[in-house]
Amino acid sequence: MKVDKNEPYNNEVSFEAVMLSPRYFLTWLGMGLLYLTSLLPIQLQLFLGKLLGWILYASGTHRKKIVEINLKLCFPNITEGTRKEMVKEVFKDMGKGLLETGIAWWRSDKFIEKLITKQSNFELLDAVNEGCIILLKHSTHAELDIRMTSSIFEAGGMYKDQTNKVMNYLMIKARNKYLFGTFTNRQTRRGIRFLNNGLKFMYAADQDYGTNGAEFVPFFGVPAATVTLPSDLFKKGTKIFFFNVVRVGSGYEITLKDIGSKANEENFLKLMNETYEEAILKEPTQYFWMHRRFKNRPEGEEDFYPYWKKREERREKKKNKTA
């Protein structure tokens, strides 16, 4: 890792004694089991992940509701029976994704490279000698997507600190081994500086990050708060690519696309969301449908997730009362 702070570098993380307190016992136990599972053959891990997905499906009442709402909004023409089956498959893929995180964090480069059964169009980056944005989607196996792609080219990106100190420690320690140029979502300016210094910056622009710095753009035909950062950088001349990873059997196919070459300043966000839609449709249940993609609504529209809105209002009221 470079130590010149004028160049892209990673955030470091230190072990804290508090991580050994009883409150983190179950976290350490779970992470230990995840590590041991990551040593198993990939086929067996995916089978166990499927079983884990059934447990998540049976116990995740509210998360299940979010998935149902999202699928109903994005696939309005499928039957209710088909949608219910899709919800089950989403949870199975989520279970697999949890175990795939262990693979991403702890398996060797050789093991990771063997998982890639197909990679397409990465020669597009051969002539790119400057910083660029490489968009990715929030798949159920997103952590493994990042690990596999970082074995093809050197890149960094943004992450969000976890509230669980043990999880945060393990995540950053792992990512620092295969990413170069990392920063938190509170360090955007540093990210821009890294980009100007030549960083290939992986960024997922397919979640609702709020209405500040966002525009409502159709996503599967539904207006969705869409972050404008990629568009803003595109307008300044930054090259924009998109990579998609699809699990096929026990292997992974990775494709790179140059979406910047097809866009202009007026249609960029529309084209970006359409690119996400196209990627998701390759394997719809491998997408992370548990996030509230349509959380914020244009003025006058009803909320799609009433339970979660009420929960947030209760938390805000409690927070204000405490203050």
In order of 89, 91, 151, 257, the CA distances from 27 in angstroms are 26, 21, 28, 38
Region 311-323: what's the mean pLDDT?
67
Q: Write down the mean pLDDT value for the chain.
A: 92
Q: Residue 319 above 80 pLDDT?
A: no
Q: Which of 58-62, 177-181, 208-212, 233-237 has the lowest mean pLDDT?
A: 58-62
pLDDT band at 1 (very low <50, low <70, confident <90, very high): very low
- What are 5-58's pLDDT values in tens digits? 557 889 899 999 999 999 999 999 999 999 999 999 999 999 999 999 999 999
Q: How confident is the model at residue 2 (pLDDT cuts 50, 70, 90)?
A: very low
pLDDT of residue 261: 87
Other Cβ atoms closer than 10 A to 64: 18
Q: Give me the pLDDT at residue 306, please.
A: 81
Judge contact between 213 and 203, C-beta under 8 A. no
pLDDT of residue 323: 56
CA distances from 138 to 23, 35, 125, 146, 282 (A): 29, 23, 22, 11, 14
Helix, coil or strand: residue 242:
strand
Q: Which amino acid is at 136?
A: L
Average pLDDT for residues 126-144, to the nearest whole number?
A: 94
Mean pLDDT of 261-267: 88
304 has pLDDT over 60: yes
Q: At residue 315, does pLDDT exceed 70?
A: no
Lowest average pLDDT, out of 142-146, 290-294, 319-323, goes to 319-323
Question: Which residues lie below 8 Å from residue 241, measured CB to CB, with a gap of 6+?
Answer: 124, 125, 132, 133, 134, 135, 256, 257, 258, 259, 260
| Residue in 150, 143, 142, 118 with CA at minimum distance from that of residue 253 | 118
β-partners of residue 226 are: 215
Predicted TM-score (pTM) of this structure: 0.91
| Encoded amino acid at 296, one letter | N
DSSP string, 57-96: HHH-HHHHHHHHHHHHHH-TTS-HHHHHHHHHHHHHHHHH
Q: How much is the pLDDT for 8?
A: 85
Question: Residues 6 or more apart from 234 whose CB is under 8 A from it?
Answer: 133, 240, 260, 263, 265, 268
